[in-house]
Amino acid sequence: WEEEEERLDLLSIYRESLMSLEEEADSDLAELGRLGPKMKTLTFSLSHFLTMALPVERKHSRGLRDHEFIVTEHDRQGCVAPPTATSAGGAGAASASAIKTEMPLVVICDSLRSAFNVGSIFRTSECVGVREIVLCGYTATPSDAGTAKAAMGMHELVSWRWERSVEDAVATAKSQGLTVVALETVEGCPEAHSYAFPRGGVALVLGNERPRPSPPPL
């Protein structure tokens, strides 16, 4: 912001970009387009600019509505079609009735406290094509009414099973040739968005919402 010449050039581009949206058919874009003519001058303070940019920020960062979030088959290219799922491990295993593609990804939940979080994991897993969810310890299973409600029926479409301990789940994953990766807030570890996940298959360990995963699973 302190470099005046560069600032004015960027603000000019910003104003022109906004004005180009005025004739857009999309109502959100057209609304943002009306902000351009209001920038009659480019010599204003940073606080004034941030105030003017707030509508753009709100439109850009708003959450998607259900009908705007669609996963197409193109998103799952390179995945493999799953075999017919069978009940494994007795109570606590569900078969996937829908024919769809899967990623070589297993999600291991280590004693999650919240049934709502477990349900959310089921919904996300179905969306991206997770192969299997392993619920460990006292993690709520879909037999719990709260979990089933939060999962919104996705526990019927994603294969899952229960293991007594996360150590057993990790041992099984390793025997299947999967690389075990824990998702946690730990200093000195790579950021999730920059980490190069192995293409051959991953078992992703999600720890308890409060304590971190215990050392043995890592």
Q: Please, which residues have CB within 8 angstroms of residue 7's CB and are 6 or more apart in sequence? A: 1
Q: Taking the complete model, does pTM exceed 0.75, yes or no?
A: no
pLDDT at 56: 79
pLDDT grade, residue 16 (50/70/90)?
A: very high
Most confident of 76-90, 136-150, 202-216: 136-150
Question: Where do runs of H (alpha helix) occur along 72-128?
Answer: 115-128
Q: pLDDT tens for residues 37-95? A: 888 888 888 877 877 777 777 676 655 555 554 555 555 555 555 444 443 444 444 44
Question: Would you say 128 and 71 are in contact if contact means Cβ atoms under 8 Å apart?
Answer: yes
Parallel, antiparallel, or unpaired for β 130-136 and 160-163? parallel
Q: pLDDT tens for residues 25-34? A: 888 888 888 8
